[in-house]
Amino acid sequence: MDNVNEEIAALESLLSQGLEQIHAVKRIARNDQSQLDETDSSIEIANDADLIDRAESLLKWSRLKAEFLNMGTGLFSDSCWDMCLDIYICDLKGQQITVSSVAHSSGIPMTTAMRYINVMSEEGLLEKTPNPSDNRMIFVSTSASCKQRISDVLQKLP
């Protein structure tokens, strides 16, 4: 019973952190400059390791949220954001990731994931490059502007 209570406490803590992050992103999206000015003065510039930790926490929280709240509808999933975070994390770690790996790990149907990746690529968020040793494989990475945008969001999180 203690293990169950510990897991519940851990989930409550994770959900609480996620809610704080949602509120921070909402403030950014609303361009509530007065709140951002207050936040910006106390923000320390995060290094790559901090950004990876923040991105991994967001990705974990997003997947947990979707797992517990979707109930088959997909209403609480954010597949494009999750895929971008996944690719961003690999980029910061210096790891190459294939389009099919991203699509598979997204948890949505392969055709839908591939369509989203293609749209994000067309929008300039992602860059696809062929694998020189296997033409059947395509590597994907975040574009410089996408990487900067995600970093900016992660920097502003509490």
> Hey, is 66 helix, strand or coil?
helix
Instruction: Please state, in angstroms and rounded to a whole number, the distance separating the CA atoms of residues 8 and 4.
Output: 6
Show the domain range for 120. 2-156
Number of domains in the chain: 1
Over residues 62-99, the pLDDT tens digits come to 888 888 887 767 677 788 999 999 999 999 999 999 99
| SS3 per-residue string spanning 64-91 | HHHHHHCCCCCCCCCHHHHHHHHHHHHH
Do 89 and 56 contact (CB within 8 A), yes or no?
A: yes
Q: What is the pTM of this model?
A: 0.69
- In the chain, the N- to C-terminal Cα span, in Å, equals 33
pLDDT for the residue numbered 142 = 97
pLDDT for the residue numbered 105 = 85
CATH number at residue 46: 1.10.10.10
**Tokens representing residue 146 in the block:** 């996408």
Residues of the chain falling short of pLDDT 50: 32-37, 39, 41
Q: Is 64 exposed, middle or buried (0-12, 13-18, 19+ CB in 10 A)?
A: middle
**Other CB atoms within 10 A of residue 46 CB:** 15
Task: Give, as one character, the DSSP assignment of residue 94.
Answer: T
pLDDT for the residue numbered 13 = 66
